[in-house]
Structure 1
Amino acid sequence: MKPITSTDYNVYFNTDAFTALNEHLEKNNYSKIFILVDSNTNANCLPVFLPQLVTNCEVEIIEIEAGEIHKNIETCTGVWNAISELGGDRKSLMINLGGGVVTDLGGFVAATYMRGINFINIPTTLLSMVDASVGGKTGIDLGTLKNQVGVFCTPEMVLISTDFLNTLPSNEMRSGMAEMLKHGLIADENYWNFFKNLQNLTLEDLDKLIYDSVIIKNNVVLQDLKESNLRKTLNFGHTLGHAIESFFLNDESKTTLLHGEAIAIGMILAAHLSHQKLNFSIEKVDEIKSVILNYFEKVAIEENDLDTIISLMKHDKKNTYGTINFVLLEGIGNPTIDIKVDNNMILKAFEYYKN
């Protein structure tokens, strides 16, 4: 697979990835290499990665706790302190080996330590491969509010090795599938159609779907890095999805949802809002709901949860001047940004999801 060129770095795939990494390390005289992992990737991915690493540079491993709940400023402080105590300087390199929490937080730590050190992202989950791998977004959560603090900062390179997916639980694989479904809905109906029947999917098919998904996201990012216009389309399903994710994260009586599980709900809701607001075909809404619920179990959302979920939407980063803005569909592959909807429409969309 040919490397994909993003804003000012390349995304390399499978065997080419580690060749590119070692060539980069040979060319750059780094003082020290820090590998950021969480407790899961330390156990499952680091033993796969380290034998691929060829360098005479001193390597230090920094481990953080796994899970979205640890994607916060306290974890950043711990990592900054560890880098400092281990002798990190401006010529150090950070390699972020993990899912979206590790690459988002690790990128933010690298971008801010001594006003910025180089970093490389090695996404190990399907979600991070097709989403966090491209776009130069780094960041952490503010309490339960998703990605409220962060900076745009691009890595030196991104390395995608689908071998890491062999270590991934099935629910994490499904979580990544949500972003791939989204890419089809906002950009390419032919790509969307692949997901209607995946019974005969091979590993080679999955590699190609991941590659195509990265291309779809990259094509959007190249046209709008700072999310002033077109890039907002990548947030289809995220306005309500992030609010649902935050609500389930904050309510101790609820089972925490993975990012993709929440976005799956958000996409069904956004599809129904598209029908209400833009006359998007109800048959297509039903198709979207059917395909998504083939992958994701329906989640129980109670009537008295809705006010809190709707109030959480006011923190969405796409909002301007206090107005909540949605990405909706005029057709599959034809999204529209900055659409305002009223609460009654949102309640109708939840009713549609539940029934």
Structure 2
Amino acid sequence: MTSIKTKNAIVHFNDKVYKELNSYVKTTNPSNIFILADTNTHEYCLPNFLAQLESGDTIVEVMEMPEGEDHKTIDICTGVWEALSEYNADRKSLLINLGGGVVTDLGGFVASTYMRGIDYINVPTSLLSMVDASVGGKTGVDLGVLKNQIGVISEPSMVLIDTSYLETLPQNHMVSGYAEMLKHGLIQDNDYWNTLINFENLDASKLDQLIYDSVVIKNKVVTEDPKEQGLRKILNFGHTLGHAIESYFLGNADKTPLLHGEAIAIGMILEAYISTKVSGLSPEAFKNIKDGILKTFSLVSINENDQKLISNFMKHDKKNSHGIIKFVLLNAIGIPKIDCEVNAEIISEAFDYYNTLI
């Protein structure tokens, strides 16, 4: 596969990954190499990675963090910063983030702020991080249960996508990443959307190409708008409500936490419904979206009290301005509209409709 150039970095795939990594290490000659992994990728992915890393005389140190969204915190960052300092990391050190979106987001933030910035490389090991979290330079951590409230936009030196790591991934995490791929189709490419929702008819070997296509779509958007002043906001379709739902379920002891993609799938159905009321999405297109998502994702009960509490989380959405909640909606599949204001009655109506599906 042809490597993809981003604004300040490059994404390599499969057969090029370790050749390009080792060439980079040889050329840049980092003073130290640090690898950040979580407990899962340390066990299932790190041995393969280390076997193919040619570090020469450069010292390699491995740092392990707990896995899971609830560990995407400043406290974990502090531990990693302290470890870097303890191992005498300097401005010529390299941090390699080996893991899913939590590791690449947190590790990118750590690298971007340690000594005001050291080089880092993302090696995404989950479908979600391959198609979304590792591309575009968004780094950061959660503030309590509020998603990605603290962070900076800072691109890695390179992104290395080795899809063989997906063999270590549980099925529910594969499904979670699939939600972001569906989103890419809905905001940019009707043909890609139709290919994805008919995925059961495709040979699984075509997944690599679909991952590549998703990275192309996201890269096109973030290259045109790296700081999310306009176009890049379309990547948040399904996320205004989806992130609020994810935060609510994560912070409520009576609820089973949802994976990111599971919450975004709900958010996309709700926001597609809202689109029929606000931005002119046709009923036929909405049915296509709803049915396409529900081929893979299960419905989740959200009662009236849940809805009120979820609405409170929307106040913290990063697209908001001057206290006004802003949505990304759809005019049609592949044609998004940003900065849409939606009244509370329509949001409530969307939840009511969603609950009729259960």
For normalisation by structure 2, the TM-score amounts to 0.98
Q: CA deviation at 1:156?
A: 0.5
SS in 2 for 1:80: helix
Q: CA deviation at 1:311?
A: 1.1
The equivalent residue for 1:302 is: 303
The equivalent residue for 2:271 is: 270
CA distance in structure 2 between the aligned counterparts of 1:19 and 1:203, rounded to whole angstroms: 26
Equivalent residues of 2:197, 2:293 under 8 A apart: no
SS in 2 for 1:256: coil
CA distance in structure 1 between the aligned counterparts of 2:191 and 2:202, rounded to whole angstroms: 16
The equivalent residue for 2:54 is: 54
Q: CA deviation at 1:354?
A: 1.5
Equivalent residues of 2:105, 2:134 under 8 A apart: no
CA distance in structure 2 between the aligned counterparts of 1:147 and 1:34, rounded to whole angstroms: 24
Q: CA deviation at 1:195?
A: 1.8
Greater shift after overlay, 278-287 or 100-109? 278-287
Q: Does residue 12 of the first structure (1) align with residue 12 of the second (2)?
A: yes
Q: Does residue 128 of the first structure (1) align with residue 133 of the second (2)?
A: no
**Any gaps of 5 or more consecutive residues in structure 2?**
none
Aligned counterparts, 1:32-71, within 5 A: 32-56=32-56, 57-71=58-72
CA distance in structure 2 between the aligned counterparts of 1:258 and 1:292, rounded to whole angstroms: 15
- What amino acid is the match of 2:221? V
- What amino acid is the match of 1:197? N
Q: CA deviation at 1:279?
A: 2.3
Q: CA deviation at 1:203?
A: 3.6
**Any gaps of 5 or more consecutive residues in structure 1?**
none
Q: CA deviation at 1:223?
A: 0.3
Greater shift after overlay, 285-294 or 230-239? 285-294
Structure 1 residues 299-320: Cα deviation after superposition (integer angstroms, max 9, x where no partner): 1111111111011101000000
CA distance in structure 1 between the aligned counterparts of 2:200 and 2:29, rounded to whole angstroms: 48
CA distance in structure 1 between the aligned counterparts of 2:115 and 2:210, rounded to whole angstroms: 38
Q: CA deviation at 1:179?
A: 0.3
Q: CA deviation at 1:196?
A: 2.3
User: Over aligned residues, Cα RMSD in angstroms?
Assistant: 0.8
SS in 1 for 2:199: coil
Q: Which runs of 4+ in 1 moved over 4 A?
A: none
CA distance in structure 1 between the aligned counterparts of 2:217 and 2:113, rounded to whole angstroms: 29
- What amino acid is the match of 2:80? V
Equivalent residues of 2:100, 2:129 under 8 A apart: yes
Aligned counterparts, 1:1-355, within 5 A: 1-56=1-56, 57-355=58-356
Q: CA deviation at 1:330?
A: 0.3
- What amino acid is the match of 1:39? T
CA distance in structure 1 between the aligned counterparts of 2:355 and 2:3, rounded to whole angstroms: 42
CA distance in structure 2 between the aligned counterparts of 1:317 and 1:209, rounded to whole angstroms: 29
SS in 2 for 1:88: coil
CA distance in structure 2 between the aligned counterparts of 1:84 and 1:273, rounded to whole angstroms: 49
CA distance in structure 2 between the aligned counterparts of 1:99 and 1:30, rounded to whole angstroms: 24
CA distance in structure 2 between the aligned counterparts of 1:167 and 1:303, rounded to whole angstroms: 38
Q: Aligned pairs, how many?
A: 355
- What amino acid is the match of 1:50? L
Q: CA deviation at 1:52?
A: 1.1
For normalisation by structure 1, the TM-score amounts to 0.99
Q: CA deviation at 1:94?
A: 0.1
SS in 2 for 1:217: helix
CA distance in structure 1 between the aligned counterparts of 2:335 and 2:32, rounded to whole angstroms: 46
Greater shift after overlay, 48-57 or 262-271? 48-57
